């Protein structure tokens, strides 16, 4: 199978069915002397490739920019967007190439290279990606999938010794990404003044991922009604995504509208971070000097971005009051998903209004004492039997003990089987997350042509809820005296 695996894929390119104004045909820049640093069997299975196929020269050629998917000409798409709250005008795939899509029994998956060279949308960029940022994206994509958070996927990581200049000299790499679609809010913003193109984009997205949102009038799609249905569902998916981010301690770091997926996926991993010591206003992106994309600001930013998407749909005949109605449920959807998820993490059968005070005091306790986000939730599952391990996370255990006493009264008061509840809490609270110092460790090994740390991380991150003997190091927060790993928009 391996030799013919790529050729046997049911490949096409549905995005290319849109008119030429949506994209530019442009070839990737192949890496010189590429080497396959890593490939994800889990991601490969999504498009019908087995482990043997990942070791073939044809697979390496495809993922290094030197191959083609069924002789399809690669393309880069155009979009626009707001960056840090400011209209940035035309943007686009400045260093990404869409190779096509693969149709499978489980749906269609687009295959895209990131870091694969300049396109007409590169602006001042060189179109390349460095190994450092590519390792981070590769790991984060698969880590989020392991957590059950909607995300693009990472199929392969190819490295080379090609030099790339950033703050200092680095080496080049390409990540091969998978998604049902890479369409962003920014694609709709780009066509916000063109009825014909916006309608065509709407039809493409509806056919691809939202057939239930199609509204008809006189036997044809009603663009305005369909757009409103779409906006309602995108708003719902985005609200649920924000709840999942917060409950995982995840910060995206650069929630520009051009980084928001129309399918409600986590898209574009740059200066992201999973929190260690909890701070409600934690900023993971050193470029975000004003804290626009702090952990606790993410739901509000998502809603702001949805309003920008809504504005772009007015060209289809959508009236402002109708669009407002579509967005009105965002807060309720977010709160319902957030509270249901938090109840699972806390081992509560259902969220009760009186739990709000317990919740507020929980976050305040973690914030004041800078307790580790992941371990504070994880060890809470067994705090009724081993309070010492949980209390050890807090420099001042007295306030923690007081909160724990209130919490245990609430938890035991609901009845139920205690062992089953502990097991459910362990299934809701990961032991392993992609902490920055762990990603940095993998980066430094990869720079020595060693993928061992990537292997180790993916072993625990693909099922982060199950404790694995011998991998204790990967569950620990960074040492107290460890140097912080800075990440910015160049990461």
Phi (first) and psi of residue 24, to 5 degrees: -130, 130
Percent helix, strand and coil across the chain, each rounded to 5?
45, 15, 40
Dig out the tokens for 336 from the structure. 């319902």
Question: Does residue 6 contact residue 62 with C-beta atoms inside 8 Å?
Answer: yes
The packing angle between helices 223-247 and 195-209, to 10°, is 60
Q: Could you give the count of Cα atoms lying within 13 Å of 390 in the half-sphere of its Cβ?
A: 22
Q: Is 258 known to be catalytic?
A: yes
> Cα separation of 11 and 488, whole Å?
36
The packing angle between helices 320-327 and 298-312, to 10°, is 150
Question: Does residue 75 contact residue 23 with C-beta atoms inside 8 Å?
Answer: yes
Q: DSSP code of 490?
A: T
Residue found by looking up tokens 């569950």 in the block: 475
- DSSP output for 10-71: -EE-GGGGS-GGGEEE----PPSS-EEEEE-HHHHHHTT--TTGGGSHHHHHHHTTS--STT
Question: Does residue 91 contact residue 100 with C-beta atoms inside 8 Å?
Answer: no
- DSSP output for 226-246: HHHHHHHHHHHHHHHHHHHHH
* Annotated catalytic residue within 93, 258, 276, 288: 258
> Cα separation of 262 and 184, whole Å?
5
- Number of alpha helices (DSSP H) and beta strands (DSSP E) in the chain: 16, 15
Which residue, among 401, 395, 399, has the nearest Cα to 480 in the 3D structure?
395
Which residue, among 80, 65, 147, 103, has the nearest Cα to 341 in the 3D structure?
147
Q: Which residues participate in catalysis according to the annotation?
A: 258
């Amino acid at each position: 199978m391996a030799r013919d695996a790529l050729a046997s894929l049911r490949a096409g390119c549905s995005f290319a069915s849109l008119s030429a104004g949506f994209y530019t045909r442009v070839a990737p820049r192949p890496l010189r002397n590429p080497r396959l640093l890593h490939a994800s069997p889990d991601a490969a299975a999504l498009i019908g490739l087995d482990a043997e196929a990942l070791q073939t020269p044809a697979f390496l050629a495809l993922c290094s920019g030197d191959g083609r998917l069924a002789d399809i000409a690669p393309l880069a798409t155009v979009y626009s967007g707001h960056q840090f709250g400011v209209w940035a005008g035309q943007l686009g795939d400045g260093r990404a190439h869409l190779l096509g899509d693969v149709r499978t029994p489980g749906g269609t998956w687009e295959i895209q290279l990131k870091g694969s060279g300049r396109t007409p949308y590169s602006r001042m960029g060189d179109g390349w990606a460095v190994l450092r940022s590519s390792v981070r994206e590769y790991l984060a994509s698969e880590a989020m999938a392991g957590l059950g958070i909607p995300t693009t996927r990472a199929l392969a990581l190819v490295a080379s010794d090609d030099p790339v200049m950033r703050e200092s000299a680095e080496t080049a790499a390409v990540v091969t990404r998978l998604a049902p679609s890479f369409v962003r809010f920014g694609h709709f913003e780009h066509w916000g003044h063109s009825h014909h193109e916006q309608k065509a984009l709407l039809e493409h997205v509806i056919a691809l991922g939202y057939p239930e949102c199609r509204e008809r009038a006189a036997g044809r799609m009603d663009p305005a009604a369909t757009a409103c249905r779409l906006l309602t569902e995108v708003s719902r998916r985005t609200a649920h995504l924000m709840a999942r981010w917060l409950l995982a301690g995840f910060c995206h770091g650069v929630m520009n509208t051009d980084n928001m997926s129309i399918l409600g996926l986590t898209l574009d991993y740059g200066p992201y971070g999973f929190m260690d010591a909890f701070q409600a206003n934690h900023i993971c992106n050193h470029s975000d000097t004003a804290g626009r994309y702090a952990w606790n600001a993410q739901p509000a930013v998502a809603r702001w971005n949805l309003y920008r998407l809504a504005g772009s749909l007015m060209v289809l005949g959508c009236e402002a009051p109708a669009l407002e109605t579509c967005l009105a449920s965002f807060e309720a959807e977010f709160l319902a998903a957030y509270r249901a998820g938090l109840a699972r993490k806390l081992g509560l059968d259902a969220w009760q209004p009186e739990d709000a005070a317990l919740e507020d005091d929980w976050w305040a306790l973690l914030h004041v004492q800078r307790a580790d986000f992941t371990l504070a939730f994880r060890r809470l599952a067994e705090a009724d039997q081993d309070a010492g391990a949980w209390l050890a996370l807090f420099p001042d255990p007295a306030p923690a003990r007081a909160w724990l006493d209130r919490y245990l009264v609430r938890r035991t008061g609901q009845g139920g089987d205690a062992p089953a509840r502990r097991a459910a809490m362990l299934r809701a609270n990961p032991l392993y997350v992609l902490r920055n110092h762990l990603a940095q460790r993998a980066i430094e090994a990869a720079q020595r042509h060693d993928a061992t740390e990537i292997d180790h991380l993916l072993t625990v991150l693909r099922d982060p809820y199950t404790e694995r003997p011998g991998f204790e190091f990967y569950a620990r927060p960074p040492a107290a005296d460890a140097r912080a790993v800075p990440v910015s928009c160049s990461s």
